[in-house]
Structure formats: C-alpha cells, structure tokens
Amino acid sequence: MNYIFFILISVSIVAGIFNHTLDKVVSSMLGACNTAVEISLSLIGIMAFWLGIMRIAEKSGLVQIISKFLFPITKFLFKDVKKDSPAIGDITMSITANALGLTNAATPIGLKVMKELQEDNPDKSKATDAMCMFLGMNTAGFQIIPATVIAILVGFGAKNPTEIILPTLIVTSLSFVTAIIVALILQKVWRKYD
C-alpha cells in the first residue's frame, strides 16, 4: 500500500512540474490533509458516543438479552458453537456494532469472536463452518444506521446526511442475506469433499 501511495504522489508531482501546476498540486495535497484531520476529529465524537452506547448495552445485560432473543437464529447459523460459548454473545455484539455503522468497533469484537471460535476448533489448521459464516456475515456488514458515513457527510457539510440510511439499509441487507445463503450452500458443498 505504501508503494501505491508513493507512486500516486510521485506521479502527481511530476505531472504538476510538467504542466506548470506544481503550486496547485501542493496546495491540493495540503488542503486534503487538513480535510482529513477535520473529518477524523468529527468522527471522534460519534465513535465515542456509539462505543459508549455499546458499553452500556454490554454492562446492563442488554447484549445478553439480545443474545437470548437471537439464540434460535444464531444456533441455526452457528450449529457447531456450544450453547454456553462466549462467542455467541460476541457474535451478537459484532453484528450490533456493524448494524449501528461502527465498523471500527466491530473489528476488535470480530477478532475476539474468531479467537473464541478457534479455541473450540478441533482442527486448528482449517476454519470451521461457524468461522466462515461469521466472516461472511461480518464482511457483508449489515447496517441500520451508517454512523461513520453520516459523520463523514456531516464533516463535509452535507445538507441532508441522513438520506443515506434507506439505501444503505437495502444494500447491506441484501449483501448480508446473500453472505448467509452462500455460506450455507458452501457448507453443504464442502462436506461432500471432506
């Protein structure tokens, strides 16, 4: 990735020199850096808010209530996970974090889930069905509230940053359901070859 950025910057500078627009290239780069910092700062507030909400939900037992409510669904999708495994609650937290648009918060939770699933994995050299299902669901990233995107739009001064909610909900719902269906199909296909 560093090489790609180096090439992009070098090509921009060389093109600016040959086109006699180096001053515009440099000012655009500096302006983009300032914009990146402003957007990052605007994201801090919304990320802190939603991470706080997630922490409150975890401490108050709401996550456990949601886990129990979603248990029949998670048990169907994650057949090889034990009922008392902490992975079930963490799977719910990860899906909830993604649903709230907190993909940055969902990442460490997702890593924790994979570690917990790997501990119960009888064959450490390959992924279990539950690991593949979770990876597909997490990658699809179902979102009800795209909080990070809304924060970025607010940072850019969008007039109606919430108009993205419905299209995001439709697209991420379709990708989420598709990931589940594909994982279920591939589980059956791979069992034939094991």
Residue 151 in domain: yes
| CB-side neighbour CA atoms (13 Å) of 23 | 1
CB atoms within 10 A of CB 96: 24
Q: Within 10 A of 37 (CB to CB), how many other CB atoms are there? A: 10
- Please indicate, yes or no, if residue 95 is contained in any of the structural domains: yes
What domain range is 83 assigned to? 47-193
The answer as to whether 36 is a domain residue is no
Q: How far is CA 51 from the centre of its chain?
A: 14
- Which range, 62-66, 70-74, 86-90, 174-178, is most confident? 174-178
Section 163-174 average pLDDT: 91
What's the structural domain count of the chain?
1
Does residue 77 form part of some domain?
A: yes
Q: 106-114 long-range contacts, Cβ below 8 Å, gap at least 24?
A: 106/138, 106/141, 110/134, 110/138, 113/87
Model confidence pLDDT, tens digit, residues 69-103: 777 787 788 888 887 788 887 888 788 777 776 77
Q: What is the average per-residue pLDDT within 153-170?
A: 86
Report the alpha-carbon angle 193-72-66, nearest 5.
125
**Within a domain: 111:** yes
| Secondary structure letter of residue 117 according to DSSP | H
Tokens describing residue 49:
């808010």
Q: How far apart are CA 166 and CA 143, in angstroms?
A: 10
Asked if the structure places residue 31 within a domain, the reply is no
Q: How far apart are CA 103 and CA 110, in angstroms?
A: 10
Residue 180 lies in a domain: yes
Q: Please report, for residues 109, 113, 153, the alpha-carbon distance to residue 106 in angstroms, rounded to integers and kept in the order given.
A: 5, 10, 21
Q: What is the pLDDT of residues 14-36, one digit of tens each?
A: 888 888 888 888 888 888 888 88
Indicate whether 180 pLDDT > 90. Answer: yes
- The answer to the question of residue 177 being in a domain is yes
pLDDT 10s digits, 98-152: 777 677 777 888 899 999 999 888 888 888 889 999 999 988 888 887 877 887 7
pTM score: 0.68
